Amino acid sequence: MVSQIVLLRELLVVFYGNELSTGIMLAGWLLWVSLGSISLNKMLDRVENHAKLKNISAPAFHTLLISIAFIVPFTIYIIRNSRNILGVSPGEIIGIFPMTALSFILLAPACLVFGALFALSCRLLTKDSPRPDEEIGKVYLWEAFGAVGGGILFNFVLVYLFAPVQIALLCGALAIASVLFIADRNESKIRWSATFILMAAVLSLAFFGAQRLDLSLRKIQWSRFDLVSSKDSRYGNIALTKLGSQFNLFENGLLLASTNDPLTAESSVHYALLEHPHPRRVLLIGGSLTGALDEVLKHPVENVDCVELDPALIKTGSDNYPEDLLKGFNDRRVNFHYTDGRLFVKRLAGKKSAKYDAVILALPDPFTAQINRFYSLEFFKEAASILNTDGVFSFCLSSSENYVSPLQGRFLASIYYTLKEAFTDVKIIPGDSAVFLASPSTGLLTYDYRPLLKRYGDRRLDLGYVNRYYLPDRFSPERIGYLQGVVDRSADADINRDFRPIGYFFDMVLWSSQYSPAAEENLVKLGDLKKKTVGLALFIKFIILLGLQLSTPKLKNLGVVLSVGTTGLSGMLLQIAIILAFQVIYGYVYYNIGIIFASFMAGLVLGSALAIRILKTSKNLMNIYRLVQFSLAAYSFLLPFIFFFLSLVCRGGAFTSAAGQVIFSMLPGLAGLAGGLQFPLATKICLGGRTSGAAVAGLLYGVDLIGACAGALFTSAVLIPVLGIDSACYLTGTVNTLVLALLLLRRD
Residue 222: strand, helix, or coil: coil
HEC readout, 613-665: HHHHHCCCHHHHHHHHHHHHHHHHHHHHHHHHHHHHHCCCCHHHHHHHHHHHH
> Does residue 424 sit in the same domain as residue 544?
no
Residue 224 backbone phi and psi in degrees, to 5: -85, -5
Q: Examine the fold and report which residue of 457, 485, 500 is the final residue of a domain before the chain moves on.
A: 500
What residues does 229 pair with on adjacent strands? 240
Could you give the residue ranges of the DSSP H alpha helices within 93-188?
Answer: 96-126, 132-153, 159-161, 164-182
Q: Is residue 392, in this structure, part of any structural domain at all? A: yes
Q: What is the CATH number of the domain that holds 547?
A: 1.20.1250
pTM beyond cutoff 0.75: yes
Element (H, E) at 23: helix 20-47
Provide the pLDDT for residue 561.
82
Predicted confidence at residue 485, as pLDDT, reads: 93
Amino acid at 686: C
Contact by Cβ (8 Å): 305, 269 = no
CA dist., res. 46 & res. 39, Å (int) = 11
Number of helices followed by number of strands (H, E) in the chain: 28, 11
Which CATH number belongs to the domain containing residue 455 in this structure?
Answer: 3.40.50.150
How confident is the model at residue 470, as a pLDDT? 87
Question: 233 to each of 154, 158, 462, 493, 644, how far by Cα in Å?
Answer: 13, 12, 38, 38, 29
Query: Shortest CA distance to 314 belongs to which of 344, 292, 336?
Result: 336
Domain assignment present for 245: no
Pick from 633, 638, 643, 639: nearest CA to 732: 633
Are 11 and 252 contacting, i.e. CB atoms less than 8 angstroms apart? no
Domain boundary among 479, 500, 521: 500
How many angstroms separate the CA atoms of 424 and 392, rounded? 11
Q: Which amino acid does the sequence have at 488?
A: D
Q: Are residues 21 and 121 in the same domain?
A: yes
DSSP 3-state of 102: helix
For 429-494, what is the HEC assignment? ECCCEEEEEEECCCCCCCCCHHHHHHHHHHCCCCCCCCCCCCHHHHCCHHHHHHHHHHHHCCCCCC
Instruction: Say whether both 207 and 269 belong to one domain.
Output: no
Rg, C-alpha atoms of the chain = 28
The total of structural domains in the chain comes to 3
Question: Distance from first CA to last CA of the chain, Å, rounded?
Answer: 38
Q: Is residue 694 domain-shared with residue 731, that is, in the same domain?
A: yes
Domain boundary among 452, 485, 500: 500
**Count of other CB atoms within 10 angstroms of residue 628:** 25
- Neighbouring-strand partners of residue 227: 241
Phi, psi (5° rounding) for residue 280? -110, -50
Q: Where do the H-state alpha helices sit in 276-325?
A: 292-296, 311-320
User: Read out DSSP for 49-71?
Assistant: TSGGGTT-HHHHHHHHHHHHHHH
**253 belongs to a structural domain:** no
Are residues 359 and 213 part of one domain?
A: no
**Residues 578, 640 contacting (CB under 8 angstroms):** no
- Return the pLDDT at 600: 82
DSSP 8-state class, residue 106: H
Tell me: do 585 and 656 sit in the same domain: yes
pLDDT of residue 278: 93
Based on the fold, state whether residues 114 and 1 are members of the same structural domain. yes
Query: What strands, in cross-sheet order, belong to the sheet with 246-251?
Result: 226-233, 236-243, 246-251, 254-258
566 and 476 belong to one structural domain: no
Residue 340 lies in a domain: yes
Residues 370 and 442 in one domain: yes
Cα separation values, 516 from 128, 510, 512, Å: 55, 10, 6
User: Does residue 487 sit in the same domain as residue 590?
Assistant: no
Would 230 be classed as within a structural domain? no
Three-class SS state of 367 = coil
Q: Contact 520/512 with Cβ under 8 angstroms?
A: yes
Domain assignment present for residue 601? The answer is yes
pLDDT by residue (tens digit) across 86-98?
887 776 777 677 7
- How far apart CA 671 and CA 573 sit, in angstroms, is 10
In angstroms, the Cα distances linking 508 to 9, 20, 363, 504, 653 are 20, 10, 17, 6, 35
Those residues whose C-beta lies under 8 Å from the C-beta of residue 325, and which sit 6 or more positions away, are: 247, 259, 291, 294
In a domain, 549, yes or no: yes
- Domain housing 696: 529-748
Residue 196 and residue 293 in one domain: no
**How many whole angstroms separate alpha carbon 744 and alpha carbon 748?**
9
Burial state string for 470-489 with b = 16 or more CB within 10 A and e = fewer than 16 = bbeebbeeebbebbeebbee
For residue 204, the one-letter residue type is S
Euclidean distance between CA atoms 302 and 585, whole angstroms = 31
Q: Is residue 711 part of a domain?
A: yes
Same domain, residue pair 654 and 590: yes
pLDDT for the residue numbered 683: 82
Sign of the CA dihedral with 645 first, then 650, 651, and 653 last: positive
Q: Which residues of the chain have pLDDT under 70?
A: 41, 45, 47-55, 91, 95, 133, 185-187, 350, 507-557, 587-593, 651-655, 657, 688-695, 698, 716-717, 747-748
What string of DSSP letters covers 244-280?
TTEEEEEETTEEEEESS-HHHHHHHHHHHHHHSSS--
